[in-house]
Structure 1
Amino acid sequence: MHPETLAIYQSRMADANAGAVVPPISLSTTFEREADGSFPHGHIYSRSSNPNRDLLETALAQLEGGFAGLAFSSGQAATMTLLLALRPGDHVILGDDAYHGTPALLEELFHPWGLTYTRVDFTDLEAIRSSIHENTSLIWIETPSNPLLKIADIQAIADLAHNAGAWCACDNTWATPILQRPLDLGCDVVMHSTTKYIGGHSDVLSGALIFREDGDFYQRVRRYQTLGGAVAAPFDCWMLLRGTKTLTTRVKAQSATAMQLAQFLHEHPAVEAVHYPGLESHPGHAIAQKQMTRFGAMLSVQIKGGSDAAMAVAGRVQLFTRATSLGGIESLIEHRASVEGPNTTTPQNLLRISVGLEHADDLITDLEQALNALT
């Protein structure tokens, strides 16, 4: 089935009580045994499984083309649980441009625990190859990257990982399974901050891992999901399932608008650089064309005049909301370096934009008036 159909079909559940079309929310934390001690519906305790979580995990696995999904209380909880399934002494390779919470986890939590890691430019395959050690167990891809939208060649990097006997994971939050399917390109695991596009309305915090196939690594992570207990709540799963039903329509519309904004910003005299893989001038454009169906709804723009000019533009917009996050129906803008803190490597004149569902002309007019005030 096509993604549009899968998103609807996989979120259905037969309701024996009332025949409800929309799956009911199952808030029960525990489930009744039969007289012989068996569990006829497969559920024992909600930390282990829940009807709403089962539905969500199945739907996400179907959308990504994977064997199974695991839903967590946040994207960070999903990433942390995956890293916990590695061993002290293992080595991880991560891109030099990535969501700042991922290297923070590695540095503050897992490095003292015994993991080592190397950050390299993921647009340089030779740099990745030369960073692989005998103890490299995981290569973590993020493409498009946050916040510079660098494009990594998923298939080529997955091949490097597998040739070295390592796992390959991809943070697919920005692309979503509608635009990019890393499991089809050789990745073993996909991570989503489902808070973002899959939820789609900035009102639910959650994360997910989707595995390409069964095996020891998957079983270990699944066991840690239950032991650690950082699982998605039933109501959150219900909200996320609702989000999957409109995911395709939302992401296609947002991506089309983002392209128009990128083209406008690329031509504006107050703009130093636009980072958007849909532009032919983007260094990763050809690879993005190969592995993405569209170029996404995220873009970053560097403003001439430094940090003060960037903050001034963010302060003048009227339709964009100045807020951290992305993937919702409302357009957001933020000065990313100030969010990431004193150790950031993000350019001080960079604004990160998450494009929502407003009309493109209105968003362009808003950006134009904010930028024109600089000139």
Structure 2
Amino acid sequence: MAPGTRQPTIKEVAASAGVSPMTVSRTLAGGVNVRPDLQAKVLAAVKELGYFRNENARSLRPGQASGLIGVAITNLGNPYYGNFALGVEEVAAKHGKRIVLGNTGEDCGREAQLVADFIGRQVEGLVVVPSGGAAEHLRADRLGDTPIVLASRQVAGLDVDTVLLDDVGGAYQGTLSLLESGHTRIGFLGNVPSVSTGQRRYIGYEKALAERGISPDARLIQRDQQDVEAARSAMERLLDLPDAPTAIFSANNRNTIGALKEIGRRIRSGAGATGFPAIVSFDSFELSEMMPVPVTVIDSDARQLGREAAELLFARLQAADSHGPSRMIELPVTVSMADR
């Protein structure tokens, strides 16, 4: 569905699938009393036509706006994204709108379904922290006239308004602080390379090492952790190396918490509280000032990130040319040692 193109109807979906409109409605309502082969035809037609079920059709008068902004984040359990959502909500309220919040769990399929649900509820715009997987569901030909702003992460090939942090610069400064403290074996904990923040922060880490003539040691690089437990296991592997790293650069706060959980486990088992790597954490985290090892935090204002994303969205909603060139904002970060 290209920008400015009308939404396909249930009758058109039915015609494409070779079934009745009632069969389409029953399939979209859960498939009760609809044969699996017919459901498959309906769902294929829905995908091909870019149809979104209109959840608000009964409650909205013709031409009436929903007053809703859809916000998709990757991890509701991460306080960082809770503060981000508050920033979006603050700006939305200023414009007399409300937000509808959803969690994707870093899963592209869940993200696509959530966006479809938002469009079905006739949200006026979308703010999305993308999962980093395939993103066909975020493209203009699928969203039609619904504007979208990406926050925290980019998606390759998707030319839309985006608000980022200074990931490269922050990672560079954090890694440089470890190098200036005398560390040369610096491990890297990060999420999957397809997530743009993980890739950008790795670039900053690698840049700092290169300036000191140090080539990254593949044994010290752990890049596939999407949750705390995976990060703990990755830290365990690093600490079990015969020549373990003396410092760790952690690309996000979930990786940092996982690393500290493994250090805490070893301390409780009698390993003592010394001899563990110093840690640089991109993003602050709960109780960072009470950790058993020195933690340098690369911090940012999550609420400001949300505000900036929402301001871009409302500027797009209010613009005479809502399909003008995309805009990019990069917010600064700060590097500071947590209080001890």
What TM-score do you get using the length of structure 1 for normalisation? 0.32
- Structure having the higher Rg: 2
Q: State the TM-score, normalizing by the size of structure 2.
A: 0.35
